[in-house]
Amino acid sequence: MTSTSRKLTQVILASSVGTLIEWYDFYIYGSLSMIIAKQFFPLGNDTAAFLAALATFAAGFVVRPFGALVFGRLGDLVGRKYTFLITLLLMGGSTFSIGLVPGYADIGMAAPIIILVLRLLQGLALGGEYGGAATYVAEHAPEGRRGFYTSFIQTTATLGFFLSLGVILLTRRQLGVDAFNAWGWRVPFLISAVLIAVSVFIRLKMAESPMFTKIKSEGTISKNPLKESFGNKANLKLVLLALFGAVMGQGVVWYTGQFYAQTFLERTCGVEFEQTRFILCIAILLATPFFVVFGAWSDRIGRVKIMLAGLFLAVLCYRPLYQQIFSLTNTAEKTAMPALFAQQAGLPAVEKGDSSVTVTTWQRFSDGTTLKTAEKRLFKNGAVTAGAPTEKSKVLWVSSVAFWQIMLLIFIQIIFVTMVYGPIAAFLVELFPTRIRYTSMSLPYHIGNGIFGGLTPFIATRFFDISKNSDGTGGDPFVGLWYPIGVGAVCLLIGMTYFFKNRLRRVAGILWMLVAVLMVVGLFVLAIRELTVHATIDNKMFWYVILPIFTPIMAGLGLFGWYAWQGAYDK
């Protein structure tokens, strides 16, 4: 190995380790969202508590573009190395602190407020981390090999998710379910302090990017990266094209294939906690090498072709893939065997006053699936109350055959992730000049991933809950998929129109201006109707999050359409 190759390996390792740890820190919360919902949010409405947990999770994504602006500007002014050293410390401190926050039962509403603040700090840190790491590696990589070398940075997000799942499973196995749910869930957050210390030690030994060092020595560093990036039409049009023609779709594919898959398995299908995470861990481990495969391939045939192909496959295949997952876990389609046993707990029915009984039933099916159902029944003056049980929950252990079939279906989705995500760092780096690269690439990346992608579980879960009957039963399990399919389809059309030569660019610009206007009007009309008819806390929370976020983004789509109509993308 030559000295140049050895140095490049060290650069990739140092950048990747730190970025992986930051992703681990960021994703622990999402991996434990169902437990956190019970720890930090008011009890009594499980759906509202879960949505509140997801909303707080999403808040970390929403603030990422602001982190991109703050730290992107800093990175273009003072350098890549010191900027993402700061982001690493900010992320580590926030994550460690989450593990120390008392629960709602101890400090009331102060608990969710503190958690929200810490999630915002995490989002700010991550907003500055990724752009710095990708830029740093790309500026060390030789021409014609950037796709290959930056693809190692691309593995860190998925491996960070994998590491968070692995630490959670190991901790849960060691402590037991009850201890883990009570206090053991804090351990993965506290472990972060050790990981961050190791990463800081590694990064302190890193040298500055050679390209940044060159422009610094020449005195050509940008005096105002924000103004040059977003106040200059020639650069702003590229930021908008990167967002709406590539990163927006990449973001929803990444989060649908991994985070929404977890939510779907656990909440919609009822698959047991550990089984869900083992399925994801195996699928992630098998698929991760393909980030490097598609990153390297993009050096030969181009970035855009691979990314749009992955986006096309995702849009085409999501519904059949999730329909098959649901079918494999749907006990209504299975042959039931005699119930293994039923267990009753709680106060016995009394002739006067109220009492409750929880009946737990274990049901076996012919394919090896096991279903645990718990029903809490209320009695008034000795008689069971009319209507559905007060509380009903189910936990499903799928058969070994179904386990591997579901793993394969998740693996296919993560292959789509590797196609859209593997080449995108090199694509973004090459789109912008060195002097404003950190700032320019970070904003579209974090809007696409932090907002369009990060909100996927939150929006899809809300769609599913809206589709349920008035008594909370039923619901269309696939309705949430329309969000990633719709966003992915729009991104695919924009990418195909503006990254390849054709005569439709100006005409399509009018279409995107019209879509932006209709989306804003439609969102406000739907919000007013929903809040008038269903003024519930979870409904208010959903719309108070969605409207302020997507309105300015749709204004950006309108501006993109205006630029296209004016011929800004003709060359």
Is 247 a residue whose pLDDT tops 70? Answer: yes
- Segment 417-438, tens digit of pLDDT: 999 999 999 999 888 887 888 8
Element housing 342 (H / E)? strand 341-346
pLDDT category of residue 147 using cuts at 50, 70 and 90: very high
The two structure tokens encoding residue 256 = 């649908």
202 CB-contact burial (10 Å; exposed 0-12 / middle 13-18 / buried 19+): middle
Q: Which long-range contacts (CB under 8 A, 24 or more apart) does 486-491 make?
A: 487/248, 487/249, 487/252, 487/452, 488/249, 488/252, 488/253, 488/311, 488/314, 488/315, 489/315, 490/244, 490/248, 490/249, 490/515, 491/244, 491/245, 491/246, 491/248, 491/249, 491/250, 491/311
Is 129 a residue whose pLDDT tops 90? Answer: no
Q: How far apart are the first and last CA of the chain?
A: 42
What fold characterizes domain 3-330+400-500?
Growth Hormone; Chain: A; (1.20.1250)
Looking only at the bridges linking them, the beta strands covering 391-397 and 370-380 are antiparallel
Q: What is the mean pLDDT of residues 533-553?
A: 82
Helices and strands: H and E segment counts in the chain: 25, 5
Asked if residue 259 lies in contact with residue 30, where contact means CB atoms within 8 angstroms, the answer is yes
- Pick from 197-201, 264-268, 343-347 the range whose average pLDDT is largest: 264-268
- Residue 245 is classified by DSSP as I
- Pick from 65-79, 152-166, 214-228, 373-387 the range whose average pLDDT is largest: 152-166
Is 388 a residue whose pLDDT tops 60? Answer: no
Q: What is the mean pLDDT of residues 277-283?
A: 92
* Chain centroid to CA 255: 4
Q: What is the mean pLDDT of residues 136-142?
A: 82
More confident residue, 355 or 121: 121
pLDDT at 470: 57
Question: Could you state, in order of their start, the residue ranges of all structural domains in the chain?
Answer: 3-330+400-500, 341-397
Q: Tokens 């106060």 map to which residue?
A: 347
- Segment 79-108, tens digit of pLDDT: 777 787 888 888 888 889 989 999 888 888
Q: In 365-504, which ranges are continuous DSSP H helix?
A: 400-421, 424-431, 437-447, 456-466, 482-498
Is 298 a residue whose pLDDT tops 70? Answer: yes
- Segment 433-453, tens digit of pLDDT: 878 888 888 889 889 988 898
Is 219 a residue whose pLDDT tops 60? Answer: yes
- Segment 339-386, tens digit of pLDDT: 655 555 544 444 444 556 777 788 888 888 888 888 776 666 555 555
pLDDT at 351: 46
Output the average pLDDT for the chain. 84
pLDDT category of residue 216 using cuts at 50, 70 and 90: confident
pTM of the model: 0.85
Q: What is the mean pLDDT of residues 457-465?
A: 82
pLDDT at 347: 47
Is 61 a residue whose pLDDT tops 50? Answer: yes
* SS3 label, residue 12: helix
Q: What percent of the chain has pLDDT over 70?
A: 88
pLDDT at 415: 97
More confident residue, 460 or 313: 313
362: left (phi over 0), alpha (psi -120 to 50) or beta: beta
